[in-house]
């Protein structure tokens, strides 16, 4: 199947200018008919799969939203830029309500990538693309004003100028874990709780079945939103000029899904629909991860891929040779500190637990709103768990775990000491060691020390980007400089509208106000410079 896909795509795709739409949904494993789960009707996603390429081995590099988005937007591992702890500068209200001292010792900070790392949409915008985001940013850092032409509830490709190529993100939130909370309005009931499959690590109770069924109902509602976006592309005559990328930000928002290092937390649906039916109906089983998205999008746009990006190009004419492994991290979740690393090739998953005295299921206050958590606690208290439920009830973790999904799709049989898999264990362990060393895993440091020593360079507070220096030459051109290495510089005329990215000297229009700001990711933005032109 993989060979067929490569033959179709590599011969057909060229670097002509093509629009790109991301449809990003939240907290959803591949619980879809096109992935073999026909519990809920999803005709619009089924259509995408028929008309596109379905990836069977795609993973989030971390099983929780904000760190995952930091990787998507920068093309860097969260552990390379200090974004691995959920969250950096926005403590959980639920955690603080439970314990006002939950975040003591953790400074308010943002991820700070190495100088020069930028959100990949800046490269698109510099090349003339219109970039919109509807609407989450949530990157573990405040995005510079140069990242999007528009970001918010009304951002849309229809706001672009003429036939300007566009990159448009639509983030559909209805499948978020909060969609199961009792205080949330439920979607239309479609799936009968009696018809759902209960994973073996859950107790089979009415409450568990109800939460699973409601999750499927949320998926059905989300599918309708996908259809609406596709209809808009058709109405505008753009569907056959646009690459559509559909994916989820991590696994399902139920216990042992979201925040879990297992496939239930990292394995995501990924479908790419190409213009003119390229690769329609094919399947690609190569390992793909979020760190690969930024370089791939830039390549598909016909732009060079910056050397600092840590992923590889997995689709299109310039696709790299498939990489054998996906690397995964899970660290602090809200106020609960942990450190787990994993590597998978799609079949085998090797897990290394750095804090073995912690339970596998994070006691996160926010997640306690999921109704079935009451039955999880009851299972722990009963002393009557099944063999497959050991991960749910154990108060500690082994140092290492190894799973073979070919015979154990739910990853509940730890084969770390199985002599038949000794070579697999050695290979994956060595690959994980090499990745940790290659990327300089910042999660190996205590969080406060990481922030002050590595992200802030020894300072005690968040650095501020230097105020830009605006110079006007005798020929009327404006040059803008910023002393902070790696800062993006944005400018605009008037009080509203998108910010332009400064790349080279430009002429000033007459009789207008210009505002300039500089911002290095992870630093406070500079103070603004405002000047009136003659």
Q: Would strands 166-172 and 19-25 be described as parallel, antiparallel, or unpaired?
A: parallel
Residue 464 CA to chain centroid, in angstroms?
Answer: 27
Domain assignments of the chain as residue spans, ordered by start: 2-92+108-322, 340-455, 469-532
Phi/psi at 53 (nearest 5 deg)? -105, 125
Query: To which H or E segment does residue 265 belong?
Result: helix 263-266
Q: Are 59 and 326 in contact (CB under 8 A)?
A: yes
Q: Would strands 53-59 and 267-273 be described as parallel, antiparallel, or unpaired?
A: antiparallel
- The pLDDT assigned to 17 comes to 64
CB atoms within 10 A of CB 159: 15
Query: What positions carry a catalytic annotation?
Result: 65
CA distances from 424 to 319, 350, 402 (A): 27, 9, 9
Q: Are 198 and 204 in contact (CB under 8 A)?
A: yes
| Residue 251 C-beta-side C-alpha neighbours within 13 Å | 21
CATH topology of domain 469-532: Immunoglobulin-like (2.60.40)
**What own/partner pairs with CB < 8 Å and gap ≥ 24 does 294-300 have?**
294/72, 294/73, 294/74, 294/75, 294/120, 295/75, 297/20, 297/120, 297/124, 297/167, 298/120, 298/123, 298/124, 300/18, 300/20, 300/243
Give Rg (Cα) of the chain. 24
Q: What is the pLDDT of residues 433-473, one digit of tens each?
A: 999 999 999 999 999 999 999 999 999 999 999 999 999 88
Q: Is 258 left (phi over 0), alpha (psi -120 to 50) or beta?
A: beta
Q: Using the structure block, give the residue that is written with the tokens 């510089």.
A: 489
d(CA 4, CA 15): 21
d(CA 126, CA 116): 15
- The pLDDT assigned to 497 comes to 81
| Helix (H), strand (E), coil (C) string for 180-210 | HCCCCCCCCCCCCHHHCCCCCCCCCCHHHHH
Residues of the chain with pLDDT under 70: 1-17, 534
With 0-12 / 13-18 / 19 or more C-beta atoms within 10 angstroms meaning exposed / middle / buried, residue 352 is: buried
Quick one: which of 493, 490, 491, 492 has its CA closest to 512? 493
Q: Using the structure block, give the residue that is written with the tokens 């509830």.
A: 153
* CATH class as words, domain 2-92+108-322: alpha beta
Residue 301 CA to chain centroid, in angstroms?
Answer: 20
- The pLDDT assigned to 442 comes to 98
pTM: 0.95
């Amino acid at each position: 199947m993989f060979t067929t896909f490569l033959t179709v795509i590599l011969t057909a795709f060229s670097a002509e200018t093509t629009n790109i739409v991301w449809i990003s949904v939240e907290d959803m494993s591949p619980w879809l008919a096109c992935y073999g789960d026909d519990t809920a009707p999803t005709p619009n996603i089924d259509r995408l799969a028929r008309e596109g390429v379905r990836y069977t081995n795609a993973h989030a590099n971390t099983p929780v939203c904000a760190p995952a988005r930091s990787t998507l937007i920068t093309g860097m591992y969260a552990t390379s830029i200090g974004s691995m702890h959920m969250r950096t500068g926005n403590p959980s209200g639920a955690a603080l309500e439970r314990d006002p001292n939950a975040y003591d010792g953790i400074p308010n900070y943002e991820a700070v990538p190495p100088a020069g790392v930028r959100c990949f949409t800046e490269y698109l915008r510099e090349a003339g693309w219109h970039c919109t985001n509807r609407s989450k940013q949530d990157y573990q850092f405040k995005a510079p004003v140069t990242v999007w032409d528009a970001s918010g509830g009304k951002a849309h490709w229809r706001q672009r100028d003429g036939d300007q190529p566009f990159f448009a993100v639509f983030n559909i939130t209805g499948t978020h874990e909060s969609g199961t909370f009792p205080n949330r309005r439920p979607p239309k009931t479609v799936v009968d709780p009696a018809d759902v499959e209960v994973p073996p690590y859950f107790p089979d109770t009415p409450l568990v079945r109800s939460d699973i069924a409601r999750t499927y109902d949320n998926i059905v509602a989300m599918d309708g939103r996908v259809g609406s976006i596709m209809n808009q592309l058709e109405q505008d005559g753009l569907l056959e000029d646009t690459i559509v990328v559909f994916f989820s930000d991590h696994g399902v928002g139920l216990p042992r899904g979201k925040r879990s290092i297992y496939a239930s937390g990292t394995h995501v649906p990924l479908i790419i629909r190409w213009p003119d039916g390229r690769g329609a109906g094919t399947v690609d089983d190569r390992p793909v991860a979020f760190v690969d998205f930024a370089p791939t999008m830039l390549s598909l746009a016909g732009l060079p891929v910056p050397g600092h990006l840590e992923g590889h190009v997995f689709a299109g004419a310039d696709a790299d040779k498939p990489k054998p492994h996906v690397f995964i991290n899970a660290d602090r979740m809200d106020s609960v500190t942990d450190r787990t690393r994993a590597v998978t090739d799609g079949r085998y998953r090797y897990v290394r637990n750095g804090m073995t005295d912690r339970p596998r299921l994070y006691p996160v206050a926010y997640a306690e709103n999921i109704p079935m958590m009451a039955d999880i606690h009851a299972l722990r208290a009963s002393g009557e768990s099944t063999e497959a439920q050991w991960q749910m009830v154990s108060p500690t973790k082994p140092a290492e775990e190894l799973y073979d999904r070919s015979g154990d799709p739910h990853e509940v049989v730890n084969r770390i000491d199985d002599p038949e898999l000794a070579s697999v264990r050695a290979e994956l362990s060595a690959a994980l060691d090499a990745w940790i060393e290659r990327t300089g895993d910042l999660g190996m440091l205590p969080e406060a020390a990481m922030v002050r020593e590595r992200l802030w360079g020894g300072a005690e507070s968040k650095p501020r980007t230097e105020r830009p220096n605006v110079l006007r030459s005798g020929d009327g051109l404006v040059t803008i400089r910023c002393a902070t290495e790696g800062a993006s510089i944005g400018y605009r005329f008037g009080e509203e509208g998108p910010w332009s990215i400064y790349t080279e000297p430009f002429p000033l229009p007459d009789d207008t106000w210009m505002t300039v700001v500089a911002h290095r990711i992870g630093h406070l933005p500079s103070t603004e410079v405002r000047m009136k032109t003659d």
